[in-house]
């Protein structure tokens, strides 16, 4: 493949979530950041009614008929692209025949939102080859729909929003109820973020994710019989304390996570703005514990990885990031001790689990970028 034969280079980012986990679909605030790990699409119109897909990492090519996009749900490769094109088309946008060559540097199944990066960049590429202006928030919403309807994950908006609207050097404080987003400069002083993959193969993640989401909805429904709230994130800790007795044990635990995590996000914003990195680290540790004990989405490997990190003297905090059940942790580590930290964590983690952790070097980056080649 020769890049010069294409007309546009379109990218959308993977993301890491700093804090605010499993609260986006409960109307909460989240604090993700877009990464320089991303999906890039080289695109050109081809004058047909077909979308031809190729990949840098795969020998296969896939052709999608624009008139039959709904029939590609079960494709091994190309289903995210088909779903994204379908949702964009259904929303009344022009989808024209084109060649799309994909180059994804977000590791698959890592919890760093490779799927959101693929969906968002595909829609952006389609809009670009068709000569359409696009609103990144609208792209994110259609990408989320593709994830729900094509990948079967009843996800919130965090990943696709971060992938589309991220800003270099900034964390995003996204209110998932209103879709308002404040950008907070990331200045960690003598610290850096370290992202580590536990490398445990994922399985049944979609169904476990959907089950957790359904439990939060059930908890909300029960609480709404006594309280005038539209989402779990609206409850104060005091209100929850008073009314949580009415919830069955498991639902109470799920809601406890959501409401306490929303509070941690509020404090984390203050810590981040004031440069109180050690305080931010403590909140990350508390978030992990809550995801382990109350939301139960961590598992043995993510726990081993986060606790190994938390035990290292140069680390002020570590937690799982993303949906859970595998994937990555985010840790805040003194920059000058990062190499030593990685060796310690890799070693401890391997001894406990038999898996070889992987560390990523990545920056906080922009969401969507479009270049004419």
Q: Is 159 in the site for ligand GLA (CB under 6 A)?
A: yes
Given the complex with ligand GLA, which of 43 and 140 has the nearer CB atom?
140
CB of 156 to ligand GLA, least distance (A): 3
159 catalytic residue (yes or no): yes
Q: Is 317 in the site for ligand GLA (CB under 6 A)?
A: no
CB of 153 to ligand GLA, least distance (A): 6
Task: Give CA–CA dist 277/353, Å, rounded.
Answer: 30
Cα 11 to its chain centre, rounded Å, is 16
17 Cβ partners below 8 Å, 6+ apart? 30, 31, 32, 158, 162, 321, 322, 330
Given the complex with ligand GLA, which of 25 and 360 has the nearer CB atom?
25
CB of 151 to ligand GLA, least distance (A): 9
Task: Give CA–CA dist 280/319, Å, rounded.
Answer: 11
Given the complex with ligand GLA, which of 21 and 103 has the nearer CB atom?
21
Cβ neighbours of 353 (radius 10 Å): 18
Q: Which of 24, 99, 103, 159 is catalytic?
A: 159
Q: Is 301 in the site for ligand GLA (CB under 6 A)?
A: no
Q: Which stretch binds ligand GLA (CB under 6 A): 21-29, 51-59, 191-199, 241-249?
A: 21-29
Q: Is 181 in the site for ligand GLA (CB under 6 A)?
A: no
Footprint on residues 117-156 left by ligand GLA (CB under 6 A): 155-156
CB of 371 to ligand GLA, least distance (A): 27
DSSP run (H or E) holding 302: helix 299-311
Beta strands in the chain (DSSP E): 8-19, 29-45, 50-55, 61-65, 98-104, 170-175, 181-185, 191-197, 315-321, 328-334, 358-360, 369-372
* Secondary structure (3-state) at 190: coil
Judged by CB under 6 A, the residue of 22, 170, 312, 319 near ligand GLA is: 22
Q: Is 327 in the site for ligand GLA (CB under 6 A)?
A: no
CA distances from 209 to 25, 87, 104, 297, 323 (A): 11, 22, 24, 8, 7
Judged by CB under 6 A, the residue of 6, 16, 21, 254 near ligand GLA is: 21
- Is residue 100 within 8 A of residue 80, CB to CB? The reply is no
Comparing CA positions, the residue from 22, 20, 18 lying closest to residue 34 is: 18
Given the complex with ligand GLA, which of 7 and 206 has the nearer CB atom?
206
Given the complex with ligand GLA, which of 317 and 322 has the nearer CB atom?
322
Judged by CB under 6 A, the residue of 24, 234, 294, 303 near ligand GLA is: 24
Q: Is 322 in the site for ligand GLA (CB under 6 A)?
A: yes
- Is residue 302 within 8 A of residue 329, CB to CB? The reply is yes
Q: Which residues are known to be catalytic?
A: 159
Q: Interface residues with ligand GLA (CB under 6 A)?
A: 17, 21-22, 24-25, 155-156, 158-159, 322-323
């Amino acid at each position: 493949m020769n890049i010069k034969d294409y007309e546009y280079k379109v990218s959308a980012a993977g993301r890491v979530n700093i804090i605010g986990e499993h609260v986006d679909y409960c109307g909460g605030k989240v604090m993700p950041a877009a990464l320089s790990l991303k999906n890039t699409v080289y695109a050109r119109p081809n004058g047909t009614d077909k979308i031809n897909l190729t990949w840098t990492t795969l020998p296969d090519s896939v052709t999608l008929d624009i008139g039959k996009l709904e029939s590609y749900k079960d494709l091994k490769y190309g289903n995210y692209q088909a779903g994204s094109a379908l949702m964009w088309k259904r929303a009344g946008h022009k989808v024209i025949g084109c060649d799309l060559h994909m180059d994804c540097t977000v590791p698959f199944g890592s919890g760093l939102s490779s799927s959101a990066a693929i969906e968002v960049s595909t829609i952006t590429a389609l809009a670009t080859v068709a000569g359409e202006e696009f609103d990144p928030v609208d792209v994110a919403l259609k990408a989320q729909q593709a994830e729900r309807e094509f990948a079967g994950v009843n996800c919130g908006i965090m990943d696709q929003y971060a992938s589309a609207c991220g800003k270099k050097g900034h964390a995003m404080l996204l209110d998932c109820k209103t879709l308002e987003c404040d950008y907070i400069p990331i200045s960690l002083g003598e610290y850096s973020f370290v992202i580590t993959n536990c490398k445990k193969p994922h399985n049944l993640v979609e169904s476990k994710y959907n089950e957790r989401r359904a439990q939060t909805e059930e908890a909300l429904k029960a609480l709404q019989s006594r309280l005038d709230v539209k989402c779990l994130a609206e409850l104060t800790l005091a209100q929850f304390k008073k009314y949580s007795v009415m919830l069955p044990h498991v639902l109470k635990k799920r809601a406890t996570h959501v409401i306490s995590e929303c509070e941690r996000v509020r404090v984390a914003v203050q810590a981040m703005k004031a440069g109180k990195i050690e305080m931010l680290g403590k909140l990350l540790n508390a978030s992990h514990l809550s995801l382990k004990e109350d939301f139960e989405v961590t598992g043995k490997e993510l726990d081993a990885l986060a606790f190994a990190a938390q035990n290292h003297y140069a680390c002020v905090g570590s937690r799982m990031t993303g949906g859970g059940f595998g994937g990555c942790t985010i840790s805040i580590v003194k920059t000058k001790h990062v190499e030593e930290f990685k060796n310690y964590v890799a070693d401890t983690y391997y001894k406990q689990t038999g898996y070889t952790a992987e560390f990523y070097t990545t920056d906080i980056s922009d969401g969507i970028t479009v270049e004419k080649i």
